[in-house]
Amino acid sequence: MKKYILLFITLLLTVPNYIIAQNQVKGFVYEDINRNGLKDKEEKGIAGVGVSNGINVVKTGAEGEYSLPVGNDNIVFVIKPSDYYVPANSHNQPQFFYIHKPKGSPRLQYQGVSPTGPLPKSVNFGLIPYVVKNDFRILVFGDPQPYNEKEVDYFLNGIVSDIKDFDKVAFGISLGDLVGDNLDLFMPYKNAIKYARVPWYNVMGNHDENYDVVFDSLADETFEREFGPANYSLNHGKVHFIILDDILYPDPRGSKGYWGGFREDQFKFIENDLKFVPKDYLVVLAFHIPLSEFEGGDSFNDNHRNRLFKLLKDFPNTLSLSAHTHWQSQDFFTEKEGWLQEGRHHHMNVGASCGDWYSGRLDEDGIPLSTMRDGTPKGYIYLNFSGNKYTFDYKVAGKPFDHKMGVFAPKIIEKDRWPAAYVWANFFIGSRSDTLWYRIDTGDWKLMDYTYDYDPAYLKMINDWDYSDILLDGRRPSNPDKCNHLWKASIPKNIEAGIHIIEIKAKDMFGREYFQSTSYEIAEKDD
């Protein structure tokens, strides 16, 4: 009996849904004109700004004032309005929150939040005025996921240092798995990401969690210490971003590991947050585990996905982002998959900035090539907004901006001899609904066939390792996964001998065209 009483008391003390020792946090949202982080007498409050305790959302009054209930474990944060910026610290981490944990985090393997003590008399949030731009772009990274400091250097020198136009970027976001289980690497990760030189937001991934907990609400204690809330939102232009921790750990089904989904307090936050979002805004959701499930898997709670779609049913412009898989995928949800509007919901799985976990041969700078298992080179996303519309571009690390496809074809084939040879095109940001063409030399354009298969260039790379009779530099890549953005076409062998140019043309979901080319030789055997 004592065991169950102790468990109940622990639940009351740790789970946000059980608010005890109820208090009110009060304060102001104001224009921090002199940027000193203090509300000076001459600095006016800002009305109509959202503030949340992680569940409730209120709007500031005429003088910028707000009041919210808090218990023993809340992070109070301001929901950035479109026409203001949030001050950032020396690591370019936006400081939009106040952690209220009077007794601190429980004792865990990795340190959580130190005791914050009693609430201050006023918890204020200073914002910096900003000229609204409805056309802007952000950077999106999937899974940096270093397991040691050497891999942090790979991330810095292979991905972060690849960014050349940070002055044209509003902010960036990493979609979880900031590190690989070793939470002591959060600080080295922050030391690397600051060189992106823009405000940087972070999502929690399954490899960023405190594993030595019995309640999911405690799995983010070290993340909160380093980055603040794991669930929050912000506005920029005509876009409303909702950032969520979608990892349920421990798995509520009782099995080992985790499951994709949300807690009840998270659903409440989403519902309360969306009450204040204009219906014509684009709503962008960012989390780690994809909503999509692959090849009959059960990685995400279907009921939770349907509940999320229900909360979004009155917003005609939506997009969701995830990482986690270490491949790229564009997925579309229609009424058949539970989407409650006309048209379809676009879910973009951006892949991983670490590629295939920093594997593969080393380039001339000593950085692993780390091609993802579907043949997509490591890189990152530019997400471009114009009002409530968007496009996106995939930037392959170390390659020119217009490198959008991997093309594979034989180097030489025998004239007029069976079997046929194929040219393959891996259109990195493609989906089944896109169209690709090819032509030989300057001939007519012909359609390529979509195929769900292994990227032959990735297979060759694996074979190079497996058939090598010497140890290669770097680390053998993972075994391949089938690629869902792959096309092929037969290339002719009954044309004149010599070198021939194969051109590929791809048209993406936004009507933009991209080109790539390669060559092959037709040769005759000497009898």
CATH assignment of the domain containing 423 = 2.60.40.10
Tally of structural domains, the chain: 2
The predicted structure's pLDDT at residue 22: 52
Could you tell me if 346 and 410 lie in one domain?
no
Asked if residue 83 lies in contact with residue 71, where contact means CB atoms within 8 angstroms, the answer is no
Edge-to-edge strands of the sheet including 74-79?
A: 57-59, 50-52, 74-79, 97-100
Q: Which domain holds residue 161?
A: 2-396
Q: Give the chain's mean pLDDT.
A: 93
Could you tell me if 253 and 296 lie in one domain?
yes
Band the pLDDT of 252: cuts 50, 70, 90.
very high
The predicted structure's pLDDT at residue 90: 94
Q: Residue 12 above 70 pLDDT?
A: no
How many angstroms separate the Cα of 238 from the Cα of each of 167, 169, 170, 509?
20, 16, 13, 22
The predicted structure's pLDDT at residue 527: 66
Distance CA 79, CA 240 (A): 10
Could you tell me if 33 and 142 lie in one domain?
yes
Could you tell me if 329 and 449 lie in one domain?
no
Could you tell me if 512 and 368 lie in one domain?
no
Identify which of 359, 286, 295 has the alpha carbon closest to the alpha carbon of residue 324: 286
Q: If 0-12 CB within 10 Å is exposed, 13-18 middle and 19+ buried, where does residue 499 land?
A: exposed
Beta bridge partners of 447: 437
Could you tell me if 292 and 374 lie in one domain?
yes
Could you tell me if 235 and 97 lie in one domain?
yes
Task: Identify the residue with better confidence: 20 or 58.
Answer: 58
Could you tell me if 169 and 200 lie in one domain?
yes
Element (H, E) at 149: helix 149-158
Average the pLDDT over 384-399 and give the result.
Answer: 97
Could you tell me if 359 and 269 lie in one domain?
yes
122: domain CATH number is: 3.60.21.10
Beta bridge partners of 390: 385
Could you tell me if 16 and 64 lie in one domain?
yes
Could you tell me if 109 and 161 lie in one domain?
yes
The pLDDT tens digits for 183-210 are 999 999 999 999 999 999 999 999 999 9
Sign of CA dihedral 466, 468, 470, 472: negative
Q: Residue 11 above 80 pLDDT?
A: no
Task: Identify the residue with better confidence: 273 or 525.
Answer: 273
The pLDDT tens digits for 357-373 are 999 999 999 999 999 99
Q: Residue 63 above 70 pLDDT?
A: yes
Could you tell me if 386 and 427 lie in one domain?
no
The pLDDT tens digits for 420-441 are 789 999 999 999 999 999 999 9
Distance CA 260, CA 245 (A): 9
261 conformational bin, left if phi > 0, alpha if psi -120 to 50, beta if neither = left
Q: Is this structure's pTM higher than 0.75?
A: yes
Identify which of 297, 382, 331, 355 has the alpha carbon closest to the alpha carbon of residue 484: 331
Task: Give the max Cα distance, the chain.
Answer: 95
10 Å Cβ neighbour count for 340? 14
